[in-house]
């Protein structure tokens, strides 16, 4: 006879205490404990001295990180796991700690504070300094914090462009943010000129990155809202990354129509999105993103490919291809003019 485990509220408990683990990771990153451990500090006392904190606080924080699987502990000495060495040591090329500045910023958390009201209303209750406000400082945080997390997708986009390597390309990078999507295209295509569009405060970050990655001479700026400014014309490529999910379908269709007009014949728009299956509950990360949009925007969503295809078709794009970028949760849609 098969024995079944007794029913336990463990998963429920893990879920409602998840905010505690988010906060612990934010503190661990802010205090740079992973970096300090990588630098040779092993005991709570040593790490505390290196971090300028009280030993008791560091002991409790490091123990929690050990329970959560981000540190090892043996004979009172802490060590990094493979994952934390790669992603949480500030001196690692793959450092992702900066994401906490965005994901766990007061601005991002605010929508979730009022989530019940957002569910009742069917959209975010955040009205001031929301994600859609001009010059919202949220997007500077995004631009600064999310480069590492977005780099794999940026590489995949560049790999899917499909033009000849030495071709002259005019590229519009809409809501460029950190600028990394256009910048990586510029690295792959030596004759590509990038036009990065975003709020002026955000473009400062993109400009810094263009310099850092050595493509500043081919990186141009268009300041303002994608809905208001003149794009210009003759683009071979339009990069539309992490943008459509903030808006309703009609708004997106209007924007896609404007993009269509700005493209040269044979041009294409590459849309990067969280795209759940038609059931809207798989794959997990893509499907969960809908909740983030409910919390943060009036009418945004994680759209299915069928929905995105319909928007693109209504805007004039007759050929639309869906390319999942697994294991990353983001997908690419390539729409041809």
Please check whether residue 171 is in contact with residue 143, taking contact to mean a CB–CB distance below 8 angstroms.
no
When asked if residue 93 is in the footprint of a second copy (CB under 8 A), the reply is no
For residues 230 and 110, what is the distance between their CA atoms, to the nearest angstrom? 33
Angle 261-265-269 from CA coordinates, rounded to 5°: 65
**CB-wise, 40 or 327, nearer to a second copy?**
327
When asked if residue 116 is in the footprint of a second copy (CB under 8 A), the reply is yes
Query: Stretches 100-108, 178-186, 219-227, 267-275: which one binds a second copy (CB under 8 A)?
Result: 100-108
When asked if residue 151 is in the footprint of a second copy (CB under 8 A), the reply is no
Strand order in the sheet with 192-198: 219-223, 192-198, 169-174, 235-241, 263-274, 330-336, 319-324
For residues 218 and 29, what is the distance between their CA atoms, to the nearest angstrom? 34
**DSSP codes, 13-61:** HHHHTHHHHHHHHHHHHHTTHHHHHHTT--SHHHHHHHHT--HHHHHHH
**CB-wise, 167 or 282, nearer to a second copy?**
282
Minimum gap (Å) between residue 121 Cβ and a second copy: 6
List the interface residues with a second copy, window 252-311 (CB under 8 A): 279-282, 284-285, 287-288, 290-295, 301
List the interface residues with a second copy, window 317-336 (CB under 8 A): 327
Minimum gap (Å) between residue 256 Cβ and a second copy: 22
Structure tokens given for 276 = 């759940």
**CB-wise, 115 or 336, nearer to a second copy?**
115
Minimum gap (Å) between residue 33 Cβ and a second copy: 9
Among 35, 41, 46, 99, binds a second copy (CB under 8 A): 99
When asked if residue 242 is in the footprint of a second copy (CB under 8 A), the reply is no
Minimum gap (Å) between residue 34 Cβ and a second copy: 11
When asked if residue 226 is in the footprint of a second copy (CB under 8 A), the reply is no
When asked if residue 112 is in the footprint of a second copy (CB under 8 A), the reply is yes
List the interface residues with a second copy, window 27-56 (CB under 8 A): 27, 30-31, 51-56
When asked if residue 1 is in the footprint of a second copy (CB under 8 A), the reply is no
Q: Which residue's structure tokens are 């569910």?
A: 119
**CB-wise, 82 or 166, nearer to a second copy?**
82
Please check whether residue 219 is in contact with residue 207, taking contact to mean a CB–CB distance below 8 angstroms.
yes
**CB-wise, 106 or 234, nearer to a second copy?**
106
Size of the site for a second copy (CB under 8 A): 79
Structure tokens given for 161 = 């462009």
When asked if residue 104 is in the footprint of a second copy (CB under 8 A), the reply is yes
Minimum gap (Å) between residue 110 Cβ and a second copy: 11
When asked if residue 67 is in the footprint of a second copy (CB under 8 A), the reply is yes
| HEC letters along 247-296 | CCHHHHHHHHHHHHHHEEEEEEEEEEEECCCCCCCCCHHHHHHHHHHHHH
For residues 199 and 122, what is the distance between their CA atoms, to the nearest angstrom? 28
When asked if residue 231 is in the footprint of a second copy (CB under 8 A), the reply is no
Please check whether residue 47 is in contact with residue 89, taking contact to mean a CB–CB distance below 8 angstroms.
no
């Amino acid at each position: 006879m098969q024995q079944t485990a007794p029913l336990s509220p463990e998963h429920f408990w893990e879920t409602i205490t998840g905010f505690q683990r988010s906060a612990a990771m934010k503190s661990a990153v802010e205090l740079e404990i992973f970096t300090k451990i990588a630098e040779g500090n092993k005991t709570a006392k040593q790490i505390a001295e290196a971090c300028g904190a009280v030993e008791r606080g560091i002991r409790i924080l490091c123990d929690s990180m050990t329970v959560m699987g981000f540190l090892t502990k043996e004979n009172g000495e802490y060590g990094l796991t493979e994952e934390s060495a790669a992603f949480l040591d500030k001196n690692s090329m793959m450092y992702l700690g900066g994401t906490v500045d965005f994901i766990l910023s007061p601005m991002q958390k605010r929508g979730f504070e009022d989530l019940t009201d957002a569910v009742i209303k069917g959209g975010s209750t955040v009205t001031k300094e929301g994600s859609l406000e001009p010059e919202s400082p949220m997007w500077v945080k995004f631009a600064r914090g999310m480069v590492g997390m977005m780099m794999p997708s940026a590489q995949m986009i560049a790999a899917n462009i499909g033009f000849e390597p030495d071709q002259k390309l005019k590229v519009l990078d809409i809501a460029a943010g950190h600028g990394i999507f256009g910048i990586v295209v510029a690295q792959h295509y030596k004759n590509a000129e990038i036009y990065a569009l975003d709020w002026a405060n955000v473009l400062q970050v993109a400009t810094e990155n263009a310099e850092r990655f050595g493509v500043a001479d081919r990186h141009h700026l268009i300041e303002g809202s994608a809905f208001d400014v003149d794009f210009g014309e003759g683009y071979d490529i339009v990069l539309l990354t992490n943008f459509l999910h903030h808006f309703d379908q009609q708004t997106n269709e209007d924007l896609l129509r404007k993009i269509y007009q700005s493209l040269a014949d044979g041009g294409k728009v590459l849309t990067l999105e969280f795209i759940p299956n038609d059931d809207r509950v798989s794959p997990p990360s893509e499907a969960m993103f809908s909740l983030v949009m409910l919390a943060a925007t009036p009418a945004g969503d994680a759209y299915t490919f069928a929905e995105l295809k319909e928007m693109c078709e209504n805007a004039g794009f007759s050929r639309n291809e869906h390319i999942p970028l697994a294991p990353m949760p983001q997908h690419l849609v390539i729409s041809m003019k």
